[in-house]
Structure 1
């Protein structure tokens, strides 16, 4: 068995060729797709966060709306860029979204990817401290966030409050019990995966990873997952973490599927540089008739290692078509893989 969800980047563009032409379209269609995915039996609705871009950006209003409109499906992110976040305010937002969804929030966070503007986090009022770079700043924000999620009191109460306080130091509210075990770290390296394990976070591994060995993405990710689990065991945590990988997977069922994705060209990983120093391996897409697709997916070592698969969806093709993409995997691929 494997949890299967979708991951939407929430792209929108004011173009006649796009079914998602505005920010309002992206947000409202995201809610509709989550509702449809739940009805189809999918396990998760996850959303990417990008700033200064025609994509989904502020996650908590969307997550809260999805939580209010659904009853079973997990709702999450993949990922929130912690360079941009006030960790205390984020604890309040996350707690509220989790309570609205009755404990279904699965919050993916990370140090982020290259953005649309240079050092965009500076416009949000953040800058690295003495001796820090931006990645260290993101990890510092994360450690504060994780500490505040524990719900311990830390703030000195006003001796003459407007409303009565509980005794002792005050914590951030609203507090959602159990949310601290549903935080995921989006990791691009083995070292940060091991760091996430030590801090007690679940692991998200996306469709790209820093190229550390020259091997195909799925092999590097599988090694990353094994290193993460070894670090988790060594840390002595008393619960079992979860691991997700993201993939672009399309079962070619009808002529529309074949027109969109049946032309090939992405059957191999690709190599690129996400900045002038960092070489990354970008994962291939899977698109084929269901029986051949099953055989290809059986060779993906990272999917085999993970308990959760997030299907990246082409959201600008509209809610109905993306629901079809998800349904095709659940109906024609997942049973043959032993996931259903």
Structure 2
């Protein structure tokens, strides 16, 4: 059994054939899609976060709205770039979103990915400390965020406050009990996956990772997941860690499916470079008739290692078509793989 969710990049553009042409379209359709996804039995609604782009950027208003209109589905991010964040304020906004949803927030964070602008976090008022890289800054902020989520008081109260204070040091409010246990780290390397385990975060592994062995993408990703699980066990953390992997999977059921995605299924892994000099491997897409998909996906080692599968969706094609895409996987593919 696997949890199955969708992952939306939240694109919009004023183009022919697009249903999401404005930011308003994308936000409102994201809410509608999450509601519909819950109705068909999906387990999660996740959203990417990108700054300086015609894509979703500020996740907490959206997650709060989805939390208020749904009852069961997990809601989350994949991922928030911590280089741009104020950890203190993020504790408050994440806490509010989690309370609105009744404790269903599954928050994916990371040190960041290639950006639309040069050092975009500088425009938000942030600079690495002396001797830090921007990646170091992102990880430092992540650890501060995790620490403050614990709800332990740290701030000295004013002796003459506007409102009466409880005794002792004060914590950030609202405090969302249990949210600290539902934070995920988006890791692009084996080393950062191990770091995530050591710091008691769940693991999100996407369709991209640094090429560290030259092996096929799904093999490298499976090895990353196993290293992560070993590190979690070695650290002695309570409970079982969760792991999600992202995939582009399209069951070709209708003529529209075949027209839109029929040419993607034969594409293999791709090699490229991110951050100028880091060799990266990008996982393939899957698009085929359901029986072929079942055969191909059964060979994906990383999906086997993960408890959660996030299906990347073409959000610009609108709510109805994306419900069809997701429902096709649930009905025609998941049962054949033992996921349902």
- For 1:144-183, list aligned pairs within 5 A: 144-183=144-183
CA offset digits 1:238-262 (Å, max 9, x no partner): 1111000000000001101000011
> What is the match of residue 83 of structure 2?
83
> How far 1:266 moved relative to its partner?
4.8
Which residue number in structure 1 is paired with residue 339 of structure 2?
339
The number of residues matched between the two structures is 340
Deviations 1:278-302 (A, max 9, x none): 1110010000000000000000000
Distance 1:265 1:253 in 2: 14
In structure 2, distance between residues paired with 1:242 and 1:185 = 11
Q: Give the Cα separation in 1 of the matches to 2:17 and 2:128.
A: 41
Q: Structure 1 CA distance, aligned partners of 2:2 and 2:152?
A: 34
Paired position in structure 1 for 2:316: 316
Structure 2 equivalent of residue 275 of structure 1: 275
Structure 2 equivalent of residue 245 of structure 1: 245
Unaligned segments of structure 1, at least 5 residues: none
Q: How much does 1:61 deviate? A: 0.2
Q: Post-superposition shift, 1:265? A: 6.1
Deviation at 1:58?
A: 0.2
Q: Gapped runs of 5+ residues in structure 2?
A: none
SS of aligned partner of 1:209: strand
Q: How far off is 1:276 after superposition?
A: 1.5
1:187 — aligned with what? 187
1:49-100 deviations in Å (ceiling 9; x for gaps): 0000000000000000000010000000000000000000000011000000
Aligned to 2:25, the other structure's residue is in SS state helix
Contact 2:197 2:228 in 1 (8 A): yes
SS at match of 1:184: strand
Query: What is the CA distance between 1:213 and its match in structure 2?
Result: 0.5
Let me know the Cα RMSD of the aligned residues. Answer: 0.7
Alignment match, 1:107: 107
Q: Does 1:258 align with 2:253?
A: no
1:6 alignment counterpart: 6
Report the CA distance between 1:217 and its aligned residue.
0.9
What is the CA–CA distance in structure 1 between the aligned matches of 2:211 and 2:65, rounded to whole Å?
A: 37
- 1:19 maps to which residue? 19
Q: Deviations over 1:306-339 (max 9, x none)?
A: 0000000000011000000000000000111101
Q: Displacement of 1:29 after TM fit? A: 0.5
| 1:269-308 equivalent positions in 2, closer than 5 A | 269-308=269-308
Q: Structure 1, residues 221-274: CA drift from partner, whole Å, max 9, x if none?
A: 000000000100110001111000000000001101000011246520000111
In the TM superposition, residue 15 of structure 1 has moved relative to its aligned partner by 1.7
8 Å contact 2:270–2:281 — kept in the other structure?
yes
Per the normalisation by structure 1, the TM-score is 0.99
Q: In the TM superposition, what whole-angstrom CA distance separates every residue of 1:82-135 from its partner, at most 9, and x where no partner exists?
A: 000000000001100000000000000001111100000000001111111010
Structure-2 residue corresponding to 1:92? 92
